[in-house]
Structure 1
């Protein structure tokens, strides 16, 4: 199964994933997806369609591809959940207290928000590039019940993985069409994230600037 090469490190990485699937079959796709959770630049939007393509060629079954990739998603998410649980609220507050432009109150507000919307965040977050991996960390920090986290991650991952695996299965050699649309979605997410961070930084700097005259007067 060949992948178009452009000489980049990403192409080399994807080629390694393809080789892994060719050697050990569907479990290789599961391992690659678990690694994608820990190393987001490894694109699931490429790995999943390739798993579907391999299934269409008879390298392994379609059900195997769906089960192994979803299992890989859950395993990778659990590792990041464990990282968040190890970090915990106390360590997180201590880290944030040392960072410029951030306040401990920001952590408390985020925790309160996650308490209300954490379930939706974990489920839908599994379908958003980049956040798909990161959402597991705050779930661990706030110690979302493990059974609930696993079920939500399993459900969200099953939806996302099925779309891309089935696309690769039915599109065959034209699976690159999926990658094109996935790239557009990823760019939208990145632009939105950059805009959000920029807005936060500008707002926080203005707040600090407005407070300074009051502190000088005191």
Structure 2
């Protein structure tokens, strides 16, 4: 494993981060955040020559460009896009989730674009929903860039720092150190995702006029 990791060209890591984060931002439910965290972990292993700064930049560019393309697609095709996502990814996208996301974006506007970047099940809708709701693009872009910088940059440097500390204090257990970094890096987003999932269920029950506890 150690030998295999040292053979990964840093440019391949950066491109993978940018492409996969960009695809997720288009509205396709793939684990872009997991790829970003993994790349940040690699950057904490100094023998691999992967730069945390380049990882952060790749994540920011992927998020901004992907969201902007998603905005255009949502603005152009809107309802048809969401119907296609429901058919293609039924385990990740459904009518209740789309309705909840639309409700939040209408309610909070550009703030939903910014804070939605930190929540996996809302992150994929930021661009397409903003476009379909005809949010002014300059406002969307400002919130999109700010969210991408805080999310991609913050995630990268947090995981990098945790990975470096873990490696320094657990030199004889390097993979334990990596596991610690992964757990800390994903814990916050996991808790947020579960909270939003409960909110989606409550919102769906309210729409249908039923008790969410039933």
User: TM-score, normalized by length of structure 2?
Assistant: 0.66
Of 26, 31, 47, 1:42 maps to: 31
* 1:7-156 superposed matches below 5 A: 24-37=12-25, 38-44=27-33, 46-58=34-46, 59-87=49-77, 114=106, 117-156=108-147
SS at match of 1:164: helix
Extract unaligned runs of 5+ from structure 2.
82-94, 164-177
Shift of 1:155: 0.4
When the two chains are superposed, the root-mean-square deviation of aligned CA atoms in Å is: 3.1
Extract unaligned runs of 5+ from structure 1.
3-18, 93-101, 204-218
Structure 2 vs 1, CA of residues 54 and 62 (structure 1 numbering), >3 Å: closer, same or farther? same
Aligned length: 169
Which one has a bigger Cα radius of gyration?
A: 1
- 4+ residue stretches of structure 1 with deviation over 3 A? 19-23
Structure 2 vs 1, CA of residues 202 and 41 (structure 1 numbering), >3 Å: closer, same or farther? farther
User: TM-score, normalized by length of structure 1?
Assistant: 0.65
Shift of 1:143: 2.6
